[in-house]
A and B are shown apart, each in its own frame.
Chain A
Amino acid sequence: MSNLISQKVNMIFKSLKGEDVHALKDITFSLKKGELLTVLGPSGCGKTTLLNIAAGFLRPTSGSITLGDKEINGPGVERGMVFQQGALFEWLTVNQNVNFGLRMKKEDPIKTAKKVEEWLDIVGLKGFGNTPTYQLSGGMQQRVALARCLINDPDLILMDEPLGALDALTREKMQSLVLKIWKETGKTIILITHSVEEALLLGERVYVMAPRPGRIHKEYKLPFASMGLKGDLRKIKNDKEFVSKREEILSMIWNMEEEIMGKEI
């Protein structure tokens, strides 16, 4: 079992003035394999920092995150990442982008070509293999990024506001896609978002983080993700419980924001 366990992770940056900025304080949580965690919070609460530590791009000041038995101290293939803006390699075609990880491992190109086709089918990009990525729309680019990440078969998928730059309609379609992939592959997923609705819809578990110092403010366990796997997402959005949870979290975040603004003024 490759559980994700975070133990007392602290992250302290030095600001330009020399002050310590406590970005993350004592973040402790654990995630079982196959769980979908969404992280919510006002801007500057350390969501992305947490994700970067999990990905291995940053080292925590103290504490550690372990995946399975291994402590994370650098980027690795077992942790795939999907970025807000795709971060696709625009000099490559869709196929080559999806293929990238396997090519880096120097796998047999004939075998990988088949895999690539399968994954393009799953994310709904069949027939787009030879298109240059700069010709794709935002939603399609995000699909490529998903496929590129998943083809490496990572244990953990980290998503940094993957749907943040998409229009409402595309976003809804992509949310279904994320759920579908989650169900079919059974991957552990951490998804960061600033949309409360998205966090509730996708998250089996939802962490609401608070800023200064960045910490987990509240934790929810929710049924909506499992409901979404079967039913219509739009129906769930009008569910009474869903609406009340949404309002609760929204007002919570509003209060936090007000607190910060108040402090600054």
Chain B
Amino acid sequence: MITGFITFFTIFAVVGAILYGRKLIKREKSDAVFGNPERAKGGIHWVVVGSSFLLLSWLYYSWDIAKSFYPKSANELCQVAKVNESLLSLKYLFPIVERQHKSTAIIKRENINIEDKITLIQNDPNLKNQDKEIFINILRNTKLMIPSLTDERYLQDETQNIINELTIRLKQLTEDFPKDNYPNLSEEEENEINEGLKKQLGWGATGMEVPPLPESKKGLKFHAAAAELNSISDEFFEMRNHNPEYLRQAEAIFNEIKEYMDGLDDGLELDYIKDIKKLVRRIEYASIFPPKTLDELENSIRAFDKVQNNEQGNLRTIDILLFPAGTIVASGPQCSEAGPGRWLPKPSDTFRIFGEMLKPSVGYKMIPMLWYEMMGVNKIVGFILPDWIADIMPGKYPVHNQDGTVDPNFKSKVLDIVTGEFEAFKIPVPTGHIWDSFLRVFLGLSLGIILGVPLGLFMGLNRFAKGFFDPMVELYRPVPPLAWAPLVITVFGIDNVGKVFLLFMVSFSIMIISARAGASGTQLSKIHAAHSLGASRWQIIREVIFPNSLPEILTGIRVAVGMCWGTLVAAEFLAGTTGIGFVENVARKYMQYEVIWITIFVMGMLGLLFDLTIRKIIDKTIPWRGKG
């Protein structure tokens, strides 16, 4: 419903924007020739077209438009697939799908096989002539056995009756199929289907691609027909054209083989005779019938195929138009989305699941995406203040007295505070996957900036610092951060510390390099000026070199944010129990394509948010950049 509305709305938006664009061109100044950058200005209407195009592609290729306008189509197509599948084995017997009758093809193939074998035997110098004679004799007899299967005179009435019966059943099905009251289910069967339908989830529900049980009248028809066809084809393939004449010949051949094999040890002769036996068996199991025997059956299959194609009606059109780049029919009776519908989640499903995940009580793997929890201030204080503060306080920790009680003194009270053992009010603290990822990036980045910028400035100004720290930084920096991950995780653990340290490594080197470039790029005249204005060394660093390096430092931060973000997600993939990368990794394991796309979207948005924030900061703090 909403999808349908959005589809129409976006189509209107595209058409409207294009019309607006054409109108705009007419009003435009004519002096804007090609190549003039002026011509690239504006164009919000094209943004509308671009976004609408994206949205439409998403709706179309995820088969959400099909789902919105024809919600039953997937289920019905699945029933069609069942019929196709059941018909397929029968169709293969006749030149419907293949070029030849199956019997013809088998006879042709086996004749060639026998002739090849004879030639091979005749030319084998390791075989005794006596054996050669026996082998060739058996093969000739095998070849002579084939006419016993193809001769109509030998065909038994019993076999003919089964074929006739199956033909009649097919004809009956063809006749009943288009009727409105087909299938005529018994009450029991009807109840069974209704029970199943009650438990069945809808198309696109979690863990469900296409519901397999028929939901509509049309679907039920195909479902029932598929069952009948299955029964017919099972019965047909159980039947063999083994008439007495064939059995007599076959028995003679098998006896001859057995007689020969009895006196044999392992060796060349045994290999040959086994091959020959296999040839005979192949003919035994093949469904070879006299040329005209199956004609009626073939005609009835063709007739039914025609009828069922007609009955599909507009389903075929829907399949071709609204299920692009794939079809449900291809999956056979599995009823899965064989195409982009599988890995490209439908916008409607995605937003529904996203909304569900955003609920703090649901979240993902018992952890909310972004929420808050109440935390006592005492815990925070205990976490921030180190315990040794209590140790350096004057006095001794209290000892228990004879009453069996302990009197607190000043020192023990300090200890209570620094360990967070006191009553305090609670404040909300953010929590959840998104917050965890954000906090890791923020901490890693902050550490990198706090330590990297001073060191970078120092390295830009001092020969010792540059020489001493350069080897260290240059050795670890070129290594892709993820290559450090196994080591860092081993040393610092899979939880926050390891990841924050990894991100610190990433941002630290970037900040060093950018701060160094900033410091060494300071104009000498500015430093001279500061000197003759009476600035001390420390003042020159703080008042001249640091602000002068700010553009480089902030650009470095912007690069570092991107790098940290990328590294974090990969690190969360490797190990951990929270974070947006963790969510994606779990979703990948369970093939929850919607969740995968949601995480991709969230990461994109967060990355964009980081970048926008830093761009704002850059604009605010270094307005002189590029204007000095």
Contact = CB atoms under 8 A, between A and B. Distances in A.
Interface of A: 55-57, 75-77, 79-81, 83-85, 87, 89-91, 100-101, 104-105, 132-135, 145, 148-149, 152, 154, 158
A77 B627 CA distance: 29
Contact of B529 (A76, A81, A91, A135): A81
Given A57-B528, A83-B525, A90-B627, A77 B548 contact: no
Interface string B507-528: 0000000000000000101101
Contacts of A158: 532
B627 to A, nearest CB: 4
Contacts of B526: 87, 89
A83 B628 contact: no
A55 B604 CA distance: 55
A7 B540 CA distance: 31
Contact of B534 (A76, A84, A134, A145): A76
Contacts of B627: 90, 134-135
A142 to B, nearest CB: 13
A85 B535 CA distance: 20
B623 interface: yes
Interface residues of B, number: 23
Given A90-B624, A90-B627, A100 B533 contact: yes
B534 A152 contact: yes
Contacts of A75: 528, 531-532
Contacts, number: 74
B536 interface: yes
A149 B523 CA distance: 18
**Which of A80, A91, A104 has the most chain B CB atoms closer than 10 A to its own CB?**
A91
24 contacts: A57-B528, A75-B531, A75-B532, A77-B532, A77-B533, A77-B534, A80-B533, A81-B528, A83-B529, A84-B525, A87-B525, A87-B526, A89-B547, A90-B628, A91-B622, A100-B533, A101-B533, A101-B534, A104-B534, A104-B543, A132-B624, A148-B529, A152-B533, A152-B534
A84 B529 CA distance: 11
A155 B548 CA distance: 29
B532 A76 contact: yes
B530 interface: yes
A190 to B, nearest CB: 13
B483 to A, nearest CB: 39
- Closest 8 interchain pairs by CB? A75-B531, A101-B533, A87-B525, A77-B534, A90-B624, A91-B547, A134-B624, A87-B529
Contacts of B528: 55, 57, 75, 81, 83, 87
B550 interface: yes
A79 B529 CA distance: 11
A91 B523 contact: no
Nearest to B547: A91
